[in-house]
Amino acid sequence: MSREKTIFTRIIEGELPCHKLFEDEYVIAFLDIQPLARGHTLVVPKESAPSMDKLSAESASALGRSLPSLCRAVMRATGATAYNLLQNNGREAGMSVPHVHIHIIPRYPDSTHSFLWGPGEIDHSEASKLAEAISATMD
Ligand code: AMP
């Protein structure tokens, strides 16, 4: 069953405009249209996977490979002092465009946005079983 084209596929195919920073065979990067901070960038694989677990290893490698250089460029061009990489998967996780993408969100001395969460406490005996279960399920 074919899915409807995402906004990002429409950008990749040139149907919609974007402020493009970078493009190669597998990846495109452009500025977020509703930036959380100046220079907020989206790094998007051209393969239209709805979440990271569905992305091919080939696209994932290209995505990962592009990141250090893009992060450096965003930092240099904006003068940001730090940045967050954010990657949502699934609506419940805050994903609004179901096409894998990584946010590069610059941080400035006067930035006020936050990604704080309340840390829990690990249960080591449950954690060791869980780590084993996850490890055993990897393909
Ligand atoms: P997420 O909530 O992780 O799915 O992030 C989707 C991001 O895509 C949001 O930060 C939007 O502002 C951004 N976005 C949506 N449409 C466009 C567009 N046409 N060009 C650039 N960014 C977009």
CATH code, 91: 3.30.428.10
* Residues facing residue 84 across a β-bridge: 105
Give the residue-averaged pLDDT of 56-73: 98
Given the residues 40, 101, 113, 124, select the one marked as catalytic: 101
Q: What's the domain count of the chain?
A: 1
Rounded to whole angstroms, how far apart are CA atoms 17 and 15? 7
The domain of 78 spans 7-136
Does residue 61 lie in a domain region?
Answer: yes
Q: pTM of the prediction?
A: 0.96
Q: Ligand 1 within 6 A of 33 CB?
A: yes
Rounded to whole angstroms, how far apart are CA atoms 94 and 76? 29
pLDDT of residue 2: 57
Digit-coded pLDDT (tens) for 72-129: 999 999 999 999 999 999 999 999 999 999 999 999 999 999 988 899 999 999 999 9
Q: Ligand 1 within 6 A of 87 CB?
A: no
